[in-house]
Structures are given as C-alpha cells and as structure tokens.
A and B are shown apart, each in its own frame.
Chain A
C-alpha cells in the first residue's frame, strides 16, 4: 500500500523525517519497504524553494504571433506579475476571458535558474531553466507539467489547481515543495494489520506510537430536500452471516467532471488513476478510511424496479447464486458463479459480486446523474474463497478478504455521500438505508497482569499497561490482578490476552525490551542418535574425498524408471503432487540414487572427476496410513578420474568397481560394522559387476557398475567404457547396528613372521571364499591376510587363476619360530586343497 505522508498529516501531526516515520512504523510491524521522495530532499529532483513556487493565473491572452502559444499573466508574490509564454492546451479555454483572478486558478511556476526535468525528452533528464524569446516575446519563467516536476509522466498540460472551500489554501509565492512535495511510503500490509490498509489506519497507528491524538475525517453528511431514501430503497439478505450489514444512500444530480487537483494528486500518489469525480470519491473513501464502496446507476435500478414494483421501492437483496446463473462484471467478463459467492441482486437479476466487483449492467454511465452509493460488510473468509477461486483480486476484495468491521460501512457511506455532495454537486437524499440485522457485541478481553509480565518479561504495573493500551483506543479497566479491556470495533485481530501483550510490547517498543538468558529448567539432554550417525558417515565419506550433494526430493516416475531398463516399472505407489510446477518434479522420490545420478549427469558436462554422495529420505506411500513412510538412504556415485589431474599425470586412471568398494570398506571400518558382499543381479547394474551388501543376514544395499543402458538413458556424458559406479544403501538397516564403541587392539610386543603364499584356484571360486578359508585354517596366530597379486593366463591351467597373499603370523606371548610358521602354512595349504581344490603355485 502506498501512503503519501502529506495525506497522513491530514489526521495526525508528524514532526519526524520520512525516514524516522518509516523506522517507527517498521519496528511496530508496518514494514515500510521503500520511501519515494517527490520534490523534497531525498528526491532525485529537489524543487528549489525560491525558484519553484506557486503562481496565480490572472489573465490568459493569445500570443500575437503564434496560434499554439498563449501568454499567461501570473502573480507569484514578486512586485510585478510575470508574463509566461506557454503552449499548455489546458489554458486555451481561458483566452480572452479578461481578468480571471476570481477563478482562483493556480499553477507551479518555475523561475529562471530552476532545475526541472525536460518535458520534451524521454525519461527524466534534468535541465536548468534559461530565459529566452519565444516567437518574439521574452520568456523567463515556465508553468510546469507533472512530468517537469517528476510527479508523473503527464505532459499534456500544466498542473492547474483551483482554490475553493474544499481545497488546501493556495497563496502565490508559496514554495511548491510545501504543497506538492511528498514522501510516499510503501507499506507491506500483512494479514494481521488489515486495520492499517488505509490512511486513517496508518495514522491511528502512528498516533498511538507517538502518543498523540488522531483527527478523524468528518463523518457528518448534509442531507436536505425532498424525498426519503428509506422509502425509495429497501434492503434484505438471505445470508446475514455472509453479509452482516448493507448501507445505501441516494444522491441526486451529481456532475461527472474531473476531480479537483488535490484529490487527483492524492489518488495518483497512492497508486490510483483518477477517472472522474464519482469514481474518484469512491476510491478516495476506500483509501482514506478503508471501507470499500460501490456506486450504482440509480435510474437503471429504478427502471428495473418498475418491472417488479411499479409503485414500490427498489429492492436490493443479497443471496447465493442460482444454478447456472452467470454475471458480467465491470471489466466486461461474463463469469460463471461459485455456489458460495454472494451476489447483490434485485428481483430482475443480479447486479454485482458482493465485496469483489460490481456488475456491468448497473455501473455508472457517462450520463448518470443519480447514484445509489453502497457500503456493506462481508464475511472475510467467503470473500477470500470467492476471489481466489474466481481469480479476481480487487482493492475491495483485498480489504474485505482481510476483514473490515461492519461499523465501518455506515461511516464509509456517509463520508462518500458527503464528498459527492461537496465535490460533484449532488444532493444527498435524507434517510440513510441501513440494513444491519445483528450488530455484534463489543469484544472484551481479560488480561491477567501476571501472565502479561510472564509472557513479555516486562515488569510493568497494571496502570502502565492500561496506559499503553489506551493509546491504541482500547478501554482498559484496572482491577487488582487483571485488566478488563474493551477492544475497538475495527480491531478484528484481538482475541485474547496474548494479543494484548503484543500490543503492550509494541507500544513499549520491542527495542526497549531487555535481553535475558534462559533461566528456565534445562530439559533432559538426549541427543539425536540418527543425526549423529549420519554426520559421522558424512565426515567419513568427505575424508575419503567424496563431495556431498543435496538434491531435489521431488522427481518423476519417468526419471526413476530410467534406472530400470528392460524391466517392469516400480509399482509401489508414489506420493504424487496434484499441483506440481512441472512434470519433472511431480512425485516424492522412491530412489535417492536416481536423484544423485541426475546431479552426476549435469556435472558430467563439465567435470572429468565425479565423486558424489548424499544422505536423504525416500518416500513410500502406504495405503494403510495417511502419511508415507520416509526412509533414510545413502547413495554414492563415482565416475571419471580417480585422482586430481596434474601436470605430471594428465590422464589419470578411471574409477572402477574397487574404488567404490574401498570407500565402502573404509566406511564400514569407521562405523565398526562387518559388511560382506556377494554377487547379485539387478537391472540397474552391469551383470557380473554387481554386489549385494550384507550386514549379517540383512541386505543393506547394492553396489556396482551401472548398466550401460542406464548410463545412456540418464544422459551421463562419459567416455566410452568409462565405468559409472554407484551404491544405494539403506541407512534404516544400519542405525541400530552400529556399536557405540569398538574395543581397542593392542600393538603386538613380539615380532611377526611374514611369508607369501601363491595359490591356483578355479576362476569361479570367489576371492572372499579363499580368504575366509585361509583365515579359518590359519587360526588366531594368523593376523593378516593381504592379497597382493591376481594372475590369469601364462602356464596356468585354463579356467584357473592365481591369487597371491602376504600372510602375517604373530603371537601375543612369544616370538614365533619358522617351525611354528611352517606348521600353520601346511595346515592352510591342506585345508584349501581339500575345501576349494586349490593348489600351491609352482
């Protein structure tokens, strides 16, 4: 909402600078987003107080030598009036009228040397006014347009201001800064300050914050002449809950002319385009005091009434739509209606959407003379629902959907009628029609003083609290241990004591509330086991050179299906969005690995080395539960160069299966878990390079080299034959299996015996089986088994391979002899031969 400070000053005294006002309001919850300065210090163009002043136009004559120029005689407080040459079309009507002093016509006058914006150039270019002859007549001053002063882009004519009993007082020679200079605050109206969605609303807040009185606009209306509004118009509703109050006033004989300058200027600064005085007054009242209102063409309503009540009153009725009913709104759109959208109607048909927008049929037309001014109250939830569903957001629906108290309807109607009388020459027909079946009771709230102190941390007396609240127009009666507070009707946001504590804190000022340390009981400190374990895993993987990523948890079934080529799709139900932003982000993922691979593919365009991991949830919809199961997963992806490329090694080897396996082995060692692998088959992975990870009997995940089709479908830009390694691990299976601490192994005091053992086995015997057999046969004295060579071919029998191990024997209590070692070795060889058909390699 745009709030010109000059407009606020109508209701409250402001001594502070615009920046100070903005600060005060911001701290109190009315956040000022921007301040736009016009003509005053702070603006790009500051109007010189001596050289840009108000002039009164005394006479307008035709330029003797130019059809399109006139000579305006302007009094500006100097000894002699100035004669100004101008081509402003809006002065032409005054040519030849002689002395027009009595018309009280004023305009900003720039004297020689003043800096202005150039009216003839695009945008805002400054120029200094210099005297020069115009068609033979020397001209040293200029009457200004809005563009030249930087108020708007308007350059069709000069600014013309008429002094009358409704306008500000204009005096020749007054600095224009003091009349049109301004600072416009842009205030963010969050839901709980709907009461501030008007000038009066902001002024009320400012007055309370600065402890000053507020001067409300006059709500008196002069009604005279014949007839009675109540006899001409009656009102009823089917829905008093949705439309608690409906006020209407008949105004006759309005003249649809442009509004006076001061009103147009205010509307413009507040972001509204002036149209004509009838429309402008309606907008002005809404901006001024927050009550949206609507004007109907009275004669049109009367014509319709002739159809249903030739001798009776116009009957306005609010109701819900009938089946299939449509309405053409002011903007010319025919709209089908929602069953809960309340309508303003008469017996012939509908006339408008209540609280949102009027209908086209009953709107004011250029020839309209008689109007029916409506100001009503509507249920805010209903207006919100309707306006959202219809996609129709108006200034009226903005306010009604945030809540406007019914008390405001009468005030708004009166204010509007009186302004139409004064500015549009209308006659207000006596007898305000006010349909208000159930006026609500005033709200009273009990505020317990101890509670207020306990919540705020402020040690205030009841009297002090009452004084703060009274500044905001709360009526507070002090009792021994509580205040009984009557809430002003426009404060729809106050429900209980806690709301009053906020008001007390706001007026006390948040910045004055002390800073204290939590002194309350410390809750039991339990830690978060799962998080701590995840952090431990992250640290271990980062230490091993992997980069953590955090991916979108929203994915698509199509993307995840890429991981399962030539196989049936994942048939577990997804948590699917009904309003996704795009098909790619339409379901909560089933696969963390698919998400990490998406990131790997994006990086594969730029990176020759991609070592990634992520810990995050997957989401499995559960038919028996409202919410899905969220399960923690760890995904790893390795592809590309194993080490960082350097000038010495510019074509490093590529990551392969055993890099990934090594990383996982390192992780298990860190966690103190014994995880074994066995060959597996899975459509995501390459056959023969896939392993199942087992913790005891439980499968905790899969690892392997991605299937070439998967690599292709995921658009991973990798070299031909470059392996992409991936693992998908179920952390839920690990969380409770990680031992809290691992026993330490002492460093041996006696020397070890080392020897090598080269074996020949059939190729289908797994290395893990060989190692396991060696360990079993070696017993407790065999400390280390380390594979150091794997060989195929040469003179080995076909279908066989050779595995060579470093073996380390060591005892805790003595130095082993060669004889001891030989005994163990014999045992190992014999057992391997017996169980695996292994032979010693010659």
Chain B
C-alpha cells in the first residue's frame, strides 16, 4: 500500500502541475483530496494494514495530504491571478477619452467678489447693511454735503424718476445716513453693498448699473491713520500680503480729508505694465474721514465723534484680477463668461 501511495502521490503532483484552469483544478481536487478522492479513500483503507504498518503509513499519508493541500492552494491562487489578469487584459479603457463632468453651477463673479469683501471686513467687525436702490435726492446728495448745483454732482450723472427728487442712487454712500439714523448713538462699523446707477452710455468701460461696496466706521476716536491701517489690511488680504498701498489726496463732498487708495499692481508687481498704465499702481477705492456735515446729518455730533468711509467697485476689482476688459460681460450673463469663474 505504501507503493500505491507513492504512485498516487507522484500522479497527483503531476496532475496538479497539468491543471491549467480553475475547472481543471476543481476536477483534480475532487479526484484526489475531496471526501471521495483517491487520497481520502486510501486513508480509509488503513484498517487493512497490520498494526505495525499503520503508524508509518498513517504518518506518511498525512504528510502527503498536507503537502498536496498546500500545493493545491498555491496553484489555485496562481490560476486565479492568471485568470483575473486575462480578464483585465481583455477589457481595458482608453484613459485619454474625455471624462464625464457633473453638471455644476456657480455663483456670479460679482457675488464671489462681494463674499470675499464681506469676509475680510467681517473679520474686522464690519457688518453688512443694505439700503434702497431708489433713493431721494436728500439721501443720495444733499445730506452727503452735495448742495444743489454743486460741481461735484456733475461727477455722477443721475437717473431721475417720475417722482420729483427721487433718483436711482448713484453710489452706496446714500446708505450712510440711513445706517447712522438706525444705529445712533452706537459706534458703527458697516459695509453697504448695493447696485448703483449712472446715466452713461453702455460701453466696454462704463455701465448704467454697477455694484459698489461702501464702508463706514463711526466712533469716538477713529483717525485717518486708522483708515489707512484698515484699508491697507484689506488690500493685503484681497490682493496678497506683498501688496503695498498708496494714499493720495482726493475729493469727495462727504469726506474730509479725502483720499484715493492705490494698490501696487499685482500683475507686474509694481514695475509697470499695460493694465496699470505703466504707473505700477492700480486705483482701487476712494475714502476719507466722514465730513462733519454728514455726521451731523446722521445725528452724530462731529465734536464728539469721528469716522471714516470708503467705497469700491467689485466689478472693477474682478476686472483687474482676471484681466476682464469689458464691463458689459457682467450683466450680459453669457454662460460662456460666467462659467469661467
């Protein structure tokens, strides 16, 4: 019987080697190792041996069984791998084909810019205050220290409505007095975003409507140095920490002293390029200390309170940032434009 075992062993080893598919392998397993397999059957014949022979045979057959089992498992693994490889090799993709993009939406570029502005000023304690688009001449001009026929009114061409002394606001500064009336006597830190309107021809450089973000801070000890510090901080956060600011004297009827803030050109790093007209500076916002007449119109005693105000155009900021050269794109809302941001 030992001979028979040896013969079976050799035969099984050969058979295992020859098994080329998982099917062959299961046939082999059934033939040798399964419950009714040759090796199992031989084990059961151990009773026919003499008591002396039994341990030797038993030990031998266990060794062979274990060895065949191990060989079977590794062969099975080999075949599985080979078959998987074959399946994968037969089914490959051209990975250079275009992907399938989910349909996605975007915020309008002006909303994105406004949010950046809200966040930066929000961190400095400025909250958003909104006021109407259709305004009285009083809020838009007179209370902001633009007397009737004042030359400064000519800087802003208004749209007039069918109600006398009611216009479309030409700047969000119109909301300053409203904010003051609402918050007096508290200190104030607000930004006032909103649509403004000017009676101009629609061209690549001018629009009849545009967003503006006004800022207003009123308190007991607010200085021109605070204005410079706050707006420089804003410019560095919006345009990058390396940016520098330049404040030059300017004129707005509702601020005194007044200034224009330029930011060093982020396109050429201040060296001079087409966008900054070779000056190295980009005009970003107008600002100044709130005029005493305006404080008084808002209910704040200018002998006790001081404040600063500023105003900027988010479209202009976006145009500079992205090199957009036609302001009409903003309200044209061509999806081919909007989807780039």
The answer to whether B256 and A498 touch across the interface, beta carbons within 8 angstroms, is: yes
Cβ proximity bits A438-464 to B, threshold 8 Å, 1 near / 0 not:
000000000000010011111000000
Instruction: Check B98 for interface membership: any CB of A closer than 8 A.
Output: yes
Instruction: Check A254 for interface membership: any CB of B closer than 8 A.
Output: no
Which of B128, B183, B250: most chain A CB closer than 10 A? B250
Given contacts A192-B251, A538-B107, contact A578 B220 (CB under 8 A): no
Measured CA separation A643–B115 after assembly (Å): 29
Instruction: Check B51 for interface membership: any CB of A closer than 8 A.
Output: no
The answer to whether B230 and A518 touch across the interface, beta carbons within 8 angstroms, is: yes
The answer to whether B223 and A456 touch across the interface, beta carbons within 8 angstroms, is: yes
Given contacts A498-B256, A575-B162, A580-B159, contact A454 B249 (CB under 8 A): no
Instruction: Check A552 for interface membership: any CB of B closer than 8 A.
Output: yes
The answer to whether B159 and A577 touch across the interface, beta carbons within 8 angstroms, is: yes
Q: Which of A456, A549, A550 is B225 in contact with, Cβ under 8 Å?
A: A456
The answer to whether B291 and A498 touch across the interface, beta carbons within 8 angstroms, is: yes
Instruction: Check A744 for interface membership: any CB of B closer than 8 A.
Output: no
The answer to whether B199 and A643 touch across the interface, beta carbons within 8 angstroms, is: no
Q: Which of A501, A528, A630 is B134 in contact with, Cβ under 8 Å?
A: A630
Measured CA separation A526–B335 after assembly (Å): 36
Instruction: Check B130 for interface membership: any CB of A closer than 8 A.
Output: yes
Chain A minimum-CB-distance residue to B330: A550
On chain A, the number of residues with a Cβ less than 8 Å from chain B's Cβ atoms is 97
Instruction: Check B339 for interface membership: any CB of A closer than 8 A.
Output: yes
Task: Give the residues from 504 to 552 in chain A that come closer than 8 angstroms, CB to CB, to chain B.
Answer: 505-506, 510-511, 513-528, 530-531, 535, 538, 541-552
The answer to whether A527 and B228 touch across the interface, beta carbons within 8 angstroms, is: no
On chain B, the number of residues with a Cβ less than 8 Å from chain A's Cβ atoms is 93
Cβ proximity bits B91-107 to A, threshold 8 Å, 1 near / 0 not:
00000011011111111
Nearest CB of B to A508, in Å: 10
Instruction: Check B68 for interface membership: any CB of A closer than 8 A.
Output: no
Instruction: Check B202 for interface membership: any CB of A closer than 8 A.
Output: yes
Instruction: Check A127 for interface membership: any CB of B closer than 8 A.
Output: no
Nearest CB of B to A412, in Å: 21
Chain B minimum-CB-distance residue to A547: B105
Measured CA separation A380–B149 after assembly (Å): 9
Task: Give the residues from 136 to 171 in chain B that come closer than 8 angstroms, CB to CB, to chain A.
Answer: 136, 148-152, 154-155, 159-163, 165-166, 168
Instruction: Check B238 for interface membership: any CB of A closer than 8 A.
Output: no
Q: Which of A516, A581, A628 is B223 in contact with, Cβ under 8 Å?
A: A516
The answer to whether A517 and B161 touch across the interface, beta carbons within 8 angstroms, is: no
Instruction: Check B117 for interface membership: any CB of A closer than 8 A.
Output: no
Q: Which of A190, A517, A580 is B229 in contact with, Cβ under 8 Å?
A: A517
Q: Please, which residues of chain B bring their CB within 8 A of the CB of A617?
A: 133
The answer to whether B256 and A627 touch across the interface, beta carbons within 8 angstroms, is: no
Q: Which of A523, A554, A578, A611 is B125 in contact with, Cβ under 8 Å?
A: A523
Q: Please, which residues of chain A bring their CB within 8 A of the CB of B163?
A: 575, 621, 626
Q: Which of A194, A381, A523, A610 is B335 in contact with, Cβ under 8 Å?
A: A610
Instruction: Check A662 for interface membership: any CB of B closer than 8 A.
Output: no
Nearest CB of A to B194, in Å: 10
Measured CA separation A616–B168 after assembly (Å): 16
Q: Which of B159, B217, B233, B248 is A28 in contact with, Cβ under 8 Å?
A: B248
Given contacts A528-B128, A576-B162, contact A518 B108 (CB under 8 A): no
Cβ proximity bits B199-228 to A, threshold 8 Å, 1 near / 0 not:
111100000110000000101111111101
Nearest CB of B to A395, in Å: 16
Cβ proximity bits A478-515 to B, threshold 8 Å, 1 near / 0 not:
00000000000000000010110110011000110111
Cβ proximity bits B246-265 to A, threshold 8 Å, 1 near / 0 not:
11111100001111100000
Measured CA separation A556–B102 after assembly (Å): 37
The answer to whether B251 and A29 touch across the interface, beta carbons within 8 angstroms, is: yes
Which of B208, B226, B249, B256: most chain A CB closer than 10 A? B249
Instruction: Check B21 for interface membership: any CB of A closer than 8 A.
Output: no
Cβ proximity bits B60-80 to A, threshold 8 Å, 1 near / 0 not:
000000000000000000000
Task: Sample 22 A-B pairs with CB under 8 A, ordered by A number.
Answer: A26-B248, A455-B306, A498-B257, A498-B302, A502-B258, A513-B228, A515-B229, A516-B229, A518-B226, A520-B221, A521-B219, A523-B183, A525-B127, A548-B338, A575-B163, A578-B161, A578-B162, A588-B133, A627-B136, A630-B132, A642-B103, A647-B97
Question: Which A residues have a C-beta under 8 Å from some C-beta of B?
Answer: 26-29, 31, 190-194, 380-381, 384-385, 388, 401-402, 451, 454-458, 496, 498-499, 501-502, 505-506, 510-511, 513-528, 530-531, 535, 538, 541-554, 575-581, 585, 588, 599, 602-603, 606-607, 609-612, 617, 619, 621, 626-628, 630, 642-644, 646-648
Q: Which 4 A-B pairs have the closest CB atoms?
A: A457-B225, A457-B223, A29-B249, A502-B257
